[in-house]
């Protein structure tokens, strides 16, 4: 896990492009939830220069991967569950 800051310098056109992409994804009624999550995670990873992004659900002591986007193969897959203590989300 790493800390990062996104610089606002020169973010004008880049941010506008990301927001346009998000608007397009979220306004597409024919796109399913899984496809929308994948696209949003991809846009977020590109904008924040991250290797992977995850949408997860925490219920009780369970952490469930709902969607994941990564640049490389990973053992973590959509649908996997972990006990909360096995994650960074204590």
Mean residue pLDDT across the chain: 80
- Strand 62-70 relative to strand 52-59, pairing: antiparallel
> E strands, the chain, where?
52-59, 62-70, 81-83
Q: How confident is the model at residue 13 (pLDDT cuts 50, 70, 90)?
A: low
Nearest residue to 39 via CA among 56, 51, 23, 57:
23
The per-residue pLDDT for 12 is 53
**Per-residue pLDDT tens for 39-75?**
889 888 888 899 999 999 999 999 999 999 988 888 8
* Other C-beta atoms lying within 10 Å of the C-beta of residue 42: 16
Per-residue confidence band for 3, with pLDDT thresholds at 50, 70 and 90:
very low
66-70-74 Cα angle (round to 5): 85
- 8-30 mean pLDDT: 71
| Spatial separation of the C-alpha atoms in residues 31 and 82, rounded to whole Å | 29
């Amino acid at each position: 896990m790493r800390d990062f800051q996104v610089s606002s310098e020169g973010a004008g056109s880049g941010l506008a492009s990301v927001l346009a992409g998000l608007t397009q994804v979220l306004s597409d009624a024919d796109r399913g939830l899984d496809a929308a999550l994948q696209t949003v995670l991809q846009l977020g990873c590109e904008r924040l220069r991250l290797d992977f992004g995850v949408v997860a659900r925490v219920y009780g002591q369970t952490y469930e991967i709902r969607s994941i986007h990564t640049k490389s193969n990973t053992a973590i897959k959509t649908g996997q569950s972990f006990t909360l203590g096995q994650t960074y989300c204590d």
